[in-house]
């Protein structure tokens, strides 16, 4: 097996260029590639198209890249927790393609599976469907949607081995496995990096064949987006 380990996030992302399309795993602040985002911030690339369920919060996650204006376009399904995202969208400073969450997930999955297009009922008769082809199947209207693929997919896993096999933990699994299949280059950061052969093959969520680079991340923050407390 090929050893795919790189030293750190800075080495892992150094081939990302201006105007690349990148996918970033995560849901809210859960399962996001924190180390890779910080490294991209330092790298200074601009004009990025970012495909992610959301943009995190203002001072964490993709929100950091929005603050430095390194992102030209977001393809997402939710913007509610990021005030800067909302401000740039309303001011016309950021291109945004908002999608139903299931459509976003399926477009990514289709990209990884080599399916260039599919039909879905989600969004028919709404702004989401404007300008899109509609066909009727069994008396019901469906929108034509196209796959999503990326130059780089950045994913965060709980545990991985030196061959790139990944295991995700709990809800951090979210968009990560499907994004790992849809990037030309997939970079995985993990909380725990183990030798090849250490993982139970029956527990692996993403086979190493989809991963080109892997490293053990550091200084992970367990943030909570919204606190609900009792008096």
Q: How does residue 68 score in pLDDT terms, banded at 50, 70 and 90?
A: very high
- Residues near 144 by Cβ (< 8 Å), separated by ≥ 6? 117, 118, 119, 132, 133, 134, 135
Percent of the chain with pLDDT over 70: 100
In a domain, 3, yes or no: no
In a domain, 98, yes or no: yes
Q: How does residue 78 score in pLDDT terms, banded at 50, 70 and 90?
A: confident
Range of the domain at 160: 9-117+148-216
Q: How does residue 80 score in pLDDT terms, banded at 50, 70 and 90?
A: confident
Mean pLDDT within 71-87: 89
Mean pLDDT within 52-81: 91
Q: What is the pLDDT of residues 106-123, one digit of tens each?
A: 999 999 999 999 999 999
> With b meaning 16 or more CB within 10 Å and e meaning fewer, what string describes 136-149?
eeeeeebbebebbb
In the predicted structure, residue 1 carries a pLDDT above the cut 80: no
Lowest mean pLDDT among 74-78, 97-101, 138-142, 217-221: 217-221
Q: How does residue 148 score in pLDDT terms, banded at 50, 70 and 90?
A: very high
Which pLDDT score, from 0 to 100, does residue 57 have?
Answer: 87
Contact criterion met (CB below 8 Å) for 122 and 103: yes
Instruction: Give the C-alpha separation, 219 to 200, whole Å.
Output: 26
Mean pLDDT within 119-145: 96
Decide the pairing of beta strands 150-161 and 140-146.
Answer: unpaired
In a domain, 32, yes or no: yes
Q: Which two tokens stand for residue 195?
A: 């030798």
Instruction: Give the C-alpha separation, 13 to 175, whole Å.
Output: 20
Residue 122: strand, helix, or coil: coil
Average per-residue pLDDT in the chain? Answer: 94
In a domain, 226, yes or no: no
Residue 37: strand, helix, or coil: helix
In a domain, 229, yes or no: no
Which pLDDT score, from 0 to 100, does residue 81 have?
Answer: 79
In a domain, 123, yes or no: no
Laid out side by side, the sheet with 140-146 consists of: 117-120, 140-146, 134-137
- Residues near 9 by Cβ (< 8 Å), separated by ≥ 6? 35, 36, 38, 39, 189, 215, 217
Mean pLDDT within 125-145: 96
Out of 18-22, 87-91, 222-226, the most confident range is 18-22
Which pLDDT score, from 0 to 100, does residue 224 have?
Answer: 74
Which pLDDT score, from 0 to 100, does residue 161 have?
Answer: 97
Q: Which residue has the tokens 């911030």?
A: 41
Decide the pairing of beta strands 117-120 and 140-146.
Answer: antiparallel
In the predicted structure, residue 222 carries a pLDDT above the cut 90: no
In a domain, 75, yes or no: yes
How many independent structural domains does the chain possess? 1
Which pLDDT score, from 0 to 100, does residue 141 have?
Answer: 97
Which pLDDT score, from 0 to 100, does residue 169 have?
Answer: 95
- For 12, 28, 41, 68, 104, the CA distances from 38, given in Å and listed in that order, are 12, 17, 5, 12, 25
Mean pLDDT within 88-103: 93
Q: What is the CATH number of the domain that holds 187?
A: 3.40.1080.10
Closest by Cα among 61, 209, 75, 78 to 150: 75
Lowest mean pLDDT among 32-46, 69-83, 196-210: 69-83
In a domain, 174, yes or no: yes
């Amino acid at each position: 097996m090929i050893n795919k380990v790189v030293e750190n996030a800075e080495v892992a992302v150094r081939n990302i260029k201006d105007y690349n399309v990148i996918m970033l795993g995560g849901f809210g602040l859960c399962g996001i590639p924190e180390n890779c985002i910080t490294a991209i911030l330092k790298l200074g690339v601009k004009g990025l198209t970012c495909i992610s369920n959301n943009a995190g919060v203002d001072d964490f996650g993709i929100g950091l890249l929005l603050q430095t204006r390194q992102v030209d376009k977001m393809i997402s399904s939710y913007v509610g927790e990021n005030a800067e995202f909302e401000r740039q969208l309303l001011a016309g400073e950021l291109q945004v393609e908002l999608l139903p969450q299931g459509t976003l997930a399926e477009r990514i999955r289709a990209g990884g599976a080599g399916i260039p297009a599919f039909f879905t009922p989600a969004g028919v008769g709404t702004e989401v469907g404007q300008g899109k082809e509609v066909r009727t199947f069994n008396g019901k209207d469906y929108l034509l949607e196209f796959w999503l693929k990326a130059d780089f997919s950045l994913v965060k896993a709980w545990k991985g081995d030196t061959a790139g096999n990944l295991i995700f933990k709990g809800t951090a699994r979210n968009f990560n496995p499907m994004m790992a299949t849809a990037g030309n280059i997939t970079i995985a950061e993990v909380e725990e990096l183990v030798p090849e052969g250490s993982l139970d093959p029956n527990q692996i969520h993403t086979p190493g064949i989809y991963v080109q680079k892997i490293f053990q991340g550091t200084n992970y923050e367990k943030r909570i987006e919204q606190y609900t407390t009792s008096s």
